[in-house]
Amino acid sequence: MSTFVVFDLEFTSWPGALEQEWSAPGQLREIVQIGALRLSDDCSVVEEYEALVRPVVNPGLSAYFTDLTGIDQETVDRHGVSPTEAMGDFLGFCQGQSVLSYGNDMVVLGENVGWARARGEEVKNGFLGANFLNIRPWLNAVAPMTATANSGRLWDVLGLPKPVVGDEHSALFDCYSSAAAIRHVCAGGAALPEGCL
């Protein structure tokens, strides 16, 4: 059975950070949550991956981030792991797979790996064993109504049942939303982008 991975990240943010592209001093896109699903060739879920991550440069989450994601400081302090551990485990989950995101989350992942290495930390498993691909252009082309939706709202704009309990801006929920969208358009005759399986 062929499989591929869909993943999503939640990362530190502040009011206006998106519009300013995180250009304000000290505003880095540090990963706080990683969600991923391993999907079979019929887009059914084979395995889940989820991790909470403790940011290093900005260890205190902004109220804006908490309001957006529902992830609070106490939860991250208690259950979060180091960025190096989370990214290494996630990259291990992705080895030998095509890894799809709805947007350029692989760029944010690369930034975080770079910062960890700059701190002298070793990130186990690398990018080379996985094929990362932004599927947003493909999905927006085959289902134009998705063009203004974030990953967590894809199921809604396509008129699909809510895929799991949860809300947008939770990394794993957003993965389920993306998977539902992929399943829907493929069932309607669209072919996955080349290299996905």
Of 192, 153, 151, 160, nearest in space to 4 by CA: 192
- Give the percent of the chain with pLDDT over 70: 99
Host domain of residue 115: 3-135
Tally of domains within the chain: 1
Q: Is residue 79 domain-resident?
A: yes
Which pTM was predicted? 0.96
Q: Is residue 143 domain-resident?
A: no
Please tell me the predicted confidence (pLDDT) of residue 126: 85
Q: Is residue 180 domain-resident?
A: no
User: Residue 72 sits in a domain of what CATH number?
Assistant: 3.30.420.10
Q: Is residue 144 domain-resident?
A: no
Q: Is residue 194 domain-resident?
A: no
**Mean pLDDT, range 28-41, rounded to an integer:** 96
pLDDT at 193 over 80: yes
pLDDT at 195 over 80: no
Q: Is residue 150 domain-resident?
A: no
Q: Is residue 119 domain-resident?
A: yes
Q: Is residue 25 domain-resident?
A: yes
CA–CA dist 95, 163 (Å, integer): 26
**Mean pLDDT, range 152-161, rounded to an integer:** 98
